[in-house]
Structure 1
């Protein structure tokens, strides 16, 4: 999206359009792409403004953010550290710009690995790998010369699921966020498209709980489309079976779906293997970051 297209996309934020009229409170939601999906879900009940995700905000955007927050009645935010990307975008920092807002309502950062036990994110200066912005530990381990089994063992899958629950609960307690771990469990095979793109069932549950903290107790309607729809990862039948989830043509996925286009898993793995060969420092970073998970998968693979 070019600069002009971006300004039109976030037209209210950049002052190209007026803030929606109405008597209800004005809500600003601050965070990543999950935050925008939650904004869509709560917008029938509150006045909202679409703003760029925190990882796209620039120094030039800060005056626009301050102007909007100065008018906000309510703020919801994911936990964001002070000085994020060397900008005053931390949760506590943006609340200083919202003097009229009620105390911030904390939203969880949503991540669920139970359906994709090999999928991880590795942050390096080189950015995301080619094909999709996710790493497959099987490909990364093979690039390191220490392959792991192609099929995850059921014990490993269940451990990874429990670890996801534990991590979500820990974040809820640490940051005082809306709870989400039970929503992922209840959603089963529809819990997420990739590890950090929760499905609509989870997002709706979080939206309902966030609204309840505003004193608005409603059933949040499904928008009629998948909100975080840009990337869908393969789902192995063995992963589903290990958790007692249905193994059907609707729940198993063999290929990726990227921007609506089916992409064979073999293609993604091939281009990423070539990338690892050219950038061994990424392999080393992945081994450091996810060594414990690699050991778990290696030890209990089927």
Structure 2
């Protein structure tokens, strides 16, 4: 038995699905989806089944996924396009293959840059991810691309502009896909809103899980899971950023990567070496995130 089979024992059919009168919920998407599932399961109001994140599903997994779909009462899904990675893993495709006509609740892909205004995600096919942490810093990207440097500490205006950009993007994606609203959850969570731009903190995740339950007509109280979800990487937070957002706190100067403190200078040095080995990545990242870079330069 492989580690993957043990981790996803119900999905692989090694353990039977729990059967009772509670609705069976499948949560489909990235790592945020699994955290949402954990919180929903913890309420005791629904049954869930742990499945691999969508980017790890393979053609061999399709029969296993279908066995789950055959019994699902509720599909909670991030917006996944049809034919994702050349497989029928889109939200609409899963819904069409579920014979019980499950209720659909769409949750957004959660990204929030307010606490980390320089941090961005850059997909680089063929290059993979940079070392140490799989995130990019617009200040480092400008250095690697030979463009005018961004200030090390953002102005209060720039911090709020990047926050507003995140809010607009979340609102737009929510309206486009009919997803549950989340911007107010990030705004209310203060310095607990995020660990990284795409790893929300527990207050946001619990709030989202509560809204899923409310959409199903169930009590929306979600207990604390007793641990920090999405805990693998924590990004530095500048005290000036918190001040600009009106959030009390001292920030944090270093990264924490799998529990180990890592300086921002060490991450930058490793990334600059990596960009030198992968020409074009820095330029592509700046082009992709030109609006945020422009705000931070002003």
- Tell me the TM-score range normalised by the shorter chain: over 0.9
Structure 1 Cα separation of the partners of residues 188 and 214 of structure 2 = 20
Conserved? CA contact 2:73–2:103, under 8 Å: no
Structure 2 Cα separation of the partners of residues 24 and 90 of structure 1 = 26
Structure 1 Cα separation of the partners of residues 286 and 173 of structure 2 = 24
Q: How many residues align?
A: 294
Query: Which residue does the alignment assign to 1:45?
Result: 45
1:263 aligns with 2:265: no
Superposed structure 1 runs of 4+ greater than 6 Å apart: none
Q: RMSD of the alignment, in Å?
A: 1.1
Query: Which residue does the alignment assign to 2:19?
Result: 21
Query: Which residue does the alignment assign to 1:98?
Result: 98
1:133 aligns with 2:134: yes
Structure 2 Cα separation of the partners of residues 13 and 29 of structure 1 = 12
Q: Give the CA deviation at 1:285.
A: 1.2
Structure 1 Cα separation of the partners of residues 32 and 277 of structure 2 = 32
Conserved? CA contact 2:17–2:49, under 8 Å: yes
TM normalised by structure 2 equals 0.96
Structure 1 Cα separation of the partners of residues 220 and 287 of structure 2 = 45
**Secondary structure in 1 aligned to 2:72?**
coil
Structure 1 Cα separation of the partners of residues 155 and 110 of structure 2 = 25
Query: Which residue does the alignment assign to 1:285?
Result: 284
Structure 1 Cα separation of the partners of residues 173 and 203 of structure 2 = 20
Query: Which residue does the alignment assign to 1:143?
Result: 144
Equivalences for 1:67-86 in 2 at 5 Å?
67-86=67-86
Q: Give the CA deviation at 1:41.
A: 0.6
Equivalences for 1:163-178 in 2 at 5 Å?
163-178=165-180
Structure 2 Cα separation of the partners of residues 34 and 138 of structure 1 = 27
**Secondary structure in 2 aligned to 1:101?**
coil
Q: Give the CA deviation at 1:199.
A: 0.6
Structure 2 Cα separation of the partners of residues 27 and 101 of structure 1 = 12
Conserved? CA contact 1:75–1:101, under 8 Å: no
Q: Give the CA deviation at 1:229.
A: 0.3
Query: Which residue does the alignment assign to 2:294?
Result: 295
**Secondary structure in 1 aligned to 2:103?**
coil
**Secondary structure in 2 aligned to 1:280?**
coil
Residue 31 of structure 1, aligned match among 24, 29, 40: 29
Structure 1 residues 266-297: Cα deviation after superposition (integer angstroms, max 9, x where no partner) = 11111001001111221121122112221221
Unaligned runs of 5+ in 1: none
Equivalences for 1:190-209 in 2 at 5 Å?
190-209=192-211
Query: Which residue does the alignment assign to 1:61?
Result: 61
Q: Give the CA deviation at 1:218.
A: 2.9
Residue 242 of structure 1, aligned match among 241, 244, 262: 244
